Amino acid sequence: MPFFEYEGTKIHYVDVDRRDDKTDGVTLVFVHGASSSHLIWALQLREFSQHYRTIAIDLSGHGRSEDIQGVPSIDMNYAEEVGALISHLNLDRFILVGHSMGGCVAMSYVLKASVVQPKALVLVDTSSDLDLSKLRGGLMKEMIEDRIYFFKSRVFEHYTESYQLKKLDDDMRLAHPQVMARDLAACNRFNITDKIGEMDIPVFVLVGSNDDIITPTIAAEFEKKLPRADIAVVKDADHIPMVEQPEEFNRLFRKFVQWVVENS
């Protein structure tokens, strides 16, 4: 599996491209959320690598990447790691996709000066303000609902791909509580609401209809503040729609990617 080094830290990523002709086209770059890894995008890597080069990073301290010293920040450490990946691979025509905290990382990257700008952003269940005092109730509710979901799946032996990915992600989070704690602390410090008007590229906001953390109402208010944005709600999905309802998520995502390709 490929790695690159950024400021002395080995950063892991996956690079999947199953196209016959690999000479041109838009690249899809995926960024995971808090205490997660590139694996959360497994169903999208499998689906979209047939037609696009697909790349997913493990931010420092996550997945197979080495950890850094000190407490990481979204706008500095994580966003700069994404920038280092883009430079390492010499990407110049790409769509940046971020989930939850990863959406904040993607926005922070776009707002940096002198970076290669993506052709578009896809922001999944995220917002410009992740103040935990506003989101804590939703976080607790999602955690309880996940416990119920895992219990029911085991009782009825309903081990779907969605279950397996969610369980793997949950096990990783439980095994490394310190990563989750510091990611939540980084999220709590994140608020770029006064800057998102500067993001003058196409943005597609996706949100699960049943997300209790970033509710459809929060997502709609967020989308209205973006200069060039559209929004879609993934029916019957919670906070991880690309895993919980992959077919519908991929259908909506595919339409946006095709539109970007045709208009860029």
The amino acid occupying position 34 is: A
In 3D space, the residue among 26, 20, 8, 29 whose CA is nearest the CA of residue 103 turns out to be: 29
What does the pLDDT read at residue 181?
93
The C-alpha atoms of residue 251 and residue 78 are separated, in whole angstroms, by 29
What does the pLDDT read at residue 129?
96
Looking only at the bridges linking them, the beta strands covering 229-234 and 203-208 are parallel
What does the pLDDT read at residue 101?
97
What does the pLDDT read at residue 237?
97
What does the pLDDT read at residue 139?
87
Question: Could you tell me if 57 and 31 are in contact, meaning their C-beta atoms sit under 8 angstroms apart?
Answer: yes
The pTM of the full predicted model, rounded to 2 decimals, is 0.95
Low-confidence ranges of the chain (pLDDT < 50): none
Which pair of structure tokens corresponds to residue 245?
Answer: 């309802």
Q: What's the Cα-to-Cα distance from 56 to each of 68, 154, 165, rounded to whole Å?
A: 19, 29, 15
Task: Please report where in the chains the tokens 């990382």 appear, as a residue.
Answer: 105
What does the pLDDT read at residue 155?
67
The architecture CATH gives domain 3-263: 3-Layer(aba) Sandwich (3.40)
Tell me the domain boundaries of the chain. Answer: 3-263
